[in-house]
A and B are shown apart, each in its own frame.
Chain A
Amino acid sequence: DAGITQSPRHKVTETGTPVTLRCHQTENHRYMYWYRQDPGHGLRLIHYSYGVKDTDKGEVSDGYSVSRSKTEDFLLTLESATSSQTSVYFCAIRSAGNTIYFGEGSWLTVV
């Protein structure tokens, strides 16, 4: 357990509204990742961070932005939510020993 918490765990929002998901870790790991998981697609990388203010895009970054102003927090923002962004979102961190730890997931429904 790497002390990862995601919030909110469940959210229903309307199309066009902004949404921010938070990933919080307690152990100062450098690398943090946001994934989405959809049936038929598995886990896909949205954005990742390799340090404070250091972020980069993953394979499905369109419509998403991220920020990391503190080591412990990695925020994922949907600027204007669309129904195609209905998904389960997982935050993950990579430890110095290369083990991957996942958060419990955030279920987002865009109606």
Chain B
Amino acid sequence: KNEVEQSPQNLTAQEGEFITINCSYSVGISALHWLQQHPGGGIVSLFMLSSGKKKHGRLIATINIQEKHSSLHITASHPRDSAVYICAVSQLQGAQKLVFGQGTRLTINP
């Protein structure tokens, strides 16, 4: 079993829909990161969470430390939100190495 599990692996929706991507982890963490990668592109950090909730524009990220679960929400989705969204956790020990989920490929159709 992977230490970081994301669901769904693929998600297709219509423009305007509310999107939820889930991430569960099994290791002790110091922080959880949500990353975005457009096709052929670089990787951008969207959020870094250690507790609670953060919001940036139409994006909202939440984390429940007790349940070891995080969600990324996109409100009023738009085709430009089409990308791979990656959950990663910083491990508690050592150099706080990142452990990555497999990513969720999101496609928003106009």
Q: Which residues of A are in contact with B by a Cβ distance under 8 Å?
A: 31, 33, 42-45, 48, 50, 56, 58, 90, 92, 94, 97-105
In the complex, what's the smallest C-beta–C-beta distance from B48 to chain A, in angstroms?
A: 5
Q: How many residue-residue contacts, CB under 8 A, span A and B? A: 54
Is there an interface contact between A100 and B98, defined as CB atoms closer than 8 Å?
yes
Q: Check B42 against A45 for contact (C-beta < 8 Å).
A: no
Mostly helix, strand, loop or mixed at chain B's interface?
strand
Binding site secondary structure of chain A: strand
| Residue tally, chain B, CB below 8 Å to A | 21
Residues of B within 8 A of A97 (CB): 48
Which of A43, A92, A99, A105 is in CB contact (< 8 Å) with B48? A99
Q: Which of B43, B45, B98 contacts A45 (CB 8 A)?
A: B98
Known contacts A48-B95, A56-B95, A98-B30; A104 and B42 CB within 8 A of each other: yes
Contact at B42–A105, with CB atoms within 8 Å? yes
Q: What's the least CB distance linking A58 to chain B, in Å?
A: 7
- Cα of A98 to Cα of B50 in the assembled complex, Å: 10
